[in-house]
Amino acid sequence: MTKTDYASVMARKGDIMLSSLGIDYGPFMAHPVMFDYEALMGLVPYDIEQIRQVQASAGVGRTAMIELRQITRLARKLAPKGKGARIFVKDEAANPSGSYKARRAALSLHHAEQAGFKGVVTATSGNYGAAVASQAARRGLDCVVVQEVFDSHGIGQPEILEKGRACEIYGAEVAQLSVGPELFYSFLRVLEETGFFNASLYTPFAIAGVEPLGFEIVEQMQEATGAAPDVVICTHAGGGNLTGTARGLRKAGADQTRIIGASVDLTGLHMASDTDFNRKHFTTGHTGFGIPFAGWPDRTDVPRNAARVLRYMDRYLLLKQGEVFYMTEALARLEGLERGPAGNVSLAAAFALSQQMDADQTIVVQETEYAGAGKQPSAQLSFARDRGIEIFRGDCEAEKPGQNVIIPDKPERLRVRDVDMNKLRRGLVKKAVAMVKPADRDDRLLEFLAEETRLSHAEVSALI
Amino acid sequence: MTSLAGNWVQIHNIVLAPEERPNTLPAETRAVPLEMRVKGWQVTDSAEIGDQVSIRTVLGREQTGKLIAVNPEYGHDFGRVIPELLAAGDELVAMMRDIPKER
């Protein structure tokens, strides 16, 4: 009988992952570091038009682009004369499961169906679970979601409880776990028990599914303004959102558009801590995922992660929790749009960045998400306040994650803070080089790492 | 409370005891077990809260565990107004009234 203890299952993880993906990763694992990224993405046997057709037939995509005229006016009031770029938002909440994640799920599950799987499994904290469950329901596939929900007291924050409920309403079986990275062990066990497809967020299908989002942005901005946007801001966690959007922008010919990542700054809170778990007021789009995934993508449930942000990200900005809640309020009060948390991280960045850009330039915030019970600042901050987190007005710069949330006392407080991208890039190069024997550190490795990080050959060479 | 077969219930299992958890975890996480909760239709004829029961999940998979709730509430809601945010919204609306509308 197959052993199901922790060590035995983890020892089989390579085999379990391979048999549950319907993708041959063999050619991409021959070298400890190097692989042909475009060939990996090339495993998706559809061009962007075909992907759009697959998604359209699943009710996904073609969401509205909305200009945020009031928020732009406010940015211009605060900005120096001639500054204040126009801000637009892509209303991805209109997708079937209420977020852009439906795009990733639609193509992944199309692939799973084609490959003959009867069901799908996904390990996710949130919107992606609902997206997979929704797309599985449409296709008559079984769906299991493995979700980290509770701390050791059985308490989950409202946003996470809502995301779990959403999975259930679409007919998924939800395994609700307490805090810990061994969620991966439970996930592997479900894959083994069921023989279902691993609907990972990080397969080439899950990334290619986002490309139409970038493509649509260019089409819609050309119609609205006559040009591709100057800046697109993506809320960044695992990297698929930014990677897929950037690839779609490039495929639509927008090679001058700057691609900026934005995350909520949760510095100091440990992602695997039972006590920190409910002291984070954002469940994704934060630095707990964003920084490690940017600096080393291959830490997921697939042998090679197709989401590789350093290949595409021009700049990476951090926002305070209080700033994002403030912009969520502004979006509702000034634009009449109540939307969930994820896109509002990018919106807060857009508001600050707009004031530094020329008034004839444009910024696209590339997602919104639905706002069901539990997802509002009122829900998340009531929960926080009940648990002793201080909430007050002031200068967000002093915010301490896990202790307080500082709501800006005036809109001038919102600002951009750059992550040192070169530090992330150099960290990736150093880690990669350490995995390769000195004799094998050749020009091909140098070329690969230069593409992987967009550092110059000279910079990579100096690190090797 | 007695729960009968056919009820929609929630069960609980310990996936990993503290000593089975990796030692790379933060101490506070490693001090507690990894727990799992799953919902399904009760298969066991009759059980009290705390009893071991069998359930059939929405996918028809049979699982066993400790019965912890019968038709548990979701419970999450909209919370209460956050006065600090409401005040910020009011200020923004007032501020906009002072800015001339663009054509």
The CATH code of the domain that includes B32 is 2.30.30
**Residues A373, B82: C-beta atoms closer than 8 Å:** no
B14 within a domain of the structure (yes/no): yes
Residue A262 in contact with residue A291, Cβ under 8 Å? no
B6 within a domain of the structure (yes/no): yes
Against a cut of 0.90, is the pTM above it?
A: yes
Q: Where are the domains of chain A?
A: 6-48+99-206, 60-98+210-418, 421-463
**Residues A176, B26: C-beta atoms closer than 8 Å:** no
Chain B residues whose CB is inside 8 A of the A270 CB are 26
B5 touches chain A (CB under 8 A): no
The domain made up of A6-48+99-206 has a fold known as: Rossmann fold (3.40.50)
Nearest CA in chain B to A166: B74
The domain made up of A60-98+210-418 has a fold known as: Rossmann fold (3.40.50)
Chain B residues whose CB is inside 8 A of the A172 CB are 58
A6-48+99-206 shares its CATH topology with A60-98+210-418: yes
Look at chain B and report how many structural domains it folds into: 1
Which tens digit of pLDDT belongs to each residue from A75-112? 999 999 999 999 999 999 999 999 999 999 999 999 99
Chain A residues whose CB is inside 8 A of the B41 CB are none
Interhelix angle A101-114/A240-251, nearest 10 degrees: 90
CA pair distance A378, A310, nearest whole angstrom: 35
Range of the domain at B54: 2-74
Q: Distance, in angstroms, between A422 CA and closest chain B CA?
A: 28
Interface predicted TM-score (ipTM) of this complex, two decimals: 0.96
**Residues B28, A274: C-beta atoms closer than 8 Å:** yes
Q: What is the mean pLDDT of each run of 10 residues along chain A (464 residues)?
A: 91 92 92 96 96 97 98 97 98 98 97 96 91 98 97 96 96 97 96 96 97 98 98 97 98 98 96 94 93 94 95 98 98 97 97 98 98 95 97 97 98 97 97 95 96 96 90
Q: Give, in degrees to the nearest 5, the angle at Cα A254 between A296 and A233.
A: 50
B57 within a domain of the structure (yes/no): yes
Nearest CB to B77; choose among A172, A326, A379: A379
Nearest CB to A182; choose among B34, B57, B99: B34
Q: Categorize the per-residue pLDDT at B103 as very low, low, confident or very high, splitting at 50, 70 and 90.
A: low
Choose, out of B9, B23, B25, B29, the residue to mutate when testing the contact with A (most A CBs < 10 Å): B29
Which tens digit of pLDDT belongs to each residue from B56-90? 999 999 999 999 999 999 999 999 999 999 999 99
B66 within a domain of the structure (yes/no): yes
Q: Where are the alpha helices (DSSP H) in A296-442?
A: 321-335, 341-354, 377-386, 421-434
Torsion of CA A111, A117, A122, A126, to 10 degrees: 60
**Residues B37, A176: C-beta atoms closer than 8 Å:** yes
B86 within a domain of the structure (yes/no): no
